[in-house]
């Protein structure tokens, strides 16, 4: 025997207003209960969330996205604190997830590394464009020569390296990350050099680099 689907309950304007007021007055209590239920069965809530997203109309999706954006803009510090807390609690899990993604998307990983390195160095936009163009050129070659050991390697086995190590003064980063201070390094040389200064690194090389 087939059962009739449940009819959606309707509320009067007064009832809806009472529900809204009650939720505002008991926000912390509701949040604590939801967290407790989620911790007990996270998979259940993931399924429910996916089903709710699938039911949304384009207008509802746009309104939800606008609400999320507005909330993040109005609560920047709270959002940053929540993200830091989540990352600290799930650091190992996030690293594994990132490693899998990078393994499947090597090109995107290189682009990400370029942008991150440029942002950290504080280099200008023109310098970044020049370095990106230069790196794309040698990445597309069949073989490239390591600046340090002068061996020939496949581009995937090489890194972008800096001739001089990062300066302690952040104001000098603009000069440090420039086309005249970058080179192609094979992975073994780059890992051995690490953050060593040029003088210390030259002592380890069979044929010291003359500058």
Q: What is the 3-state secondary structure (H, E, C) of the chain?
A: CCCCCCCCCCCCHHHHHHHHHHHHHCHHHHHHHHHHHHHHCHHHHHHHHHHHHHHCCHHHHHHHHHHHHHHHHHCHHHHHHHHHHHHHHCHHHHHHHHHHHHHHCHHHHHHHHHHHHHHHHCCCHHHHHHHHHHHHHHHCCCCEECCCCCCEECHHHEEEEECCCCCCCHHHHHHHCCHHHEEEEEHHHHHHHCCCCHHHHHHHCCCCCCC
Question: Which of 20-29, 112-121, 161-170, 201-210 shows the lowest per-residue confidence on average (mean pLDDT)?
Answer: 112-121
Banded model confidence at residue 169, pLDDT cuts 50, 70, 90 = low
What confidence score (pLDDT) does residue 211 get? 45
What confidence score (pLDDT) does residue 170 get? 58
| Mean confidence (pLDDT) of the chain | 81
Residues above pLDDT 90, as percent of the chain:
14
Compute the distance between CA of residue 102 and CA of residue 158 in angstroms, rounded to an integer. 16
Backbone torsions φ then ψ of 138, nearest 5 degrees? -80, -20
The structural domains of the chain, ordered by start, are: 100-202 (1.10.30)
Condensed to tens digits (0 to 9), the pLDDT of residues 40-94 reads: 888 888 888 888 888 888 888 888 888 888 988 888 888 888 888 888 888 888 8
Q: Kindly state the tokens that stand for 210.
A: 């003359």
Condensed to tens digits (0 to 9), the pLDDT of residues 143-167 reads: 999 998 889 999 999 999 988 877 7
What is the reported pTM? 0.41
Whether the predicted pLDDT of 195 surpasses 90? no
């Amino acid at each position: 025997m087939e059962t009739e689907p449940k009819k959606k309950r309707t509320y009067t304007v007064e009832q809806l207003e009472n529900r809204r007021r009650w939720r505002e007055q008991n926000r912390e209590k509701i949040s604590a209960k939801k967290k407790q239920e989620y911790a007990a069965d996270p998979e259940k809530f993931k399924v429910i969330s996916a089903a709710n997203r699938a039911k949304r109309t384009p207008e509802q999706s746009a309104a939800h996205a606008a609400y999320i954006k507005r909330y993040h803009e109005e609560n920047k510090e709270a959002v940053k604190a929540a993200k830091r807390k989540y990352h600290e609690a799930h650091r190992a899990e996030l690293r594994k997830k990132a490693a899998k993604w990078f393994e499947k998307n090597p090109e995107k990983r290189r682009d990400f590394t370029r942008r991150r390195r440029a942002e950290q160095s504080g280099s200008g936009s023109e310098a970044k464009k020049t370095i990106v163009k230069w790196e794309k050129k040698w990445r597309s070659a069949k073989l490239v020569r390591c600046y340090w050991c002068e061996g020939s390697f496949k581009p995937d086995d090489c890194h972008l390296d800096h001739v001089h190590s990062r300066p302690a003064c952040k104001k000098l980063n603009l000069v440090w990350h420039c086309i005249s201070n970058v080179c192609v390094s094979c992975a073994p040389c780059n890992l051995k050099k690490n953050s060593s200064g040029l003088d210390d690194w030259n002592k380890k090389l069979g044929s010291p680099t003359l500058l």
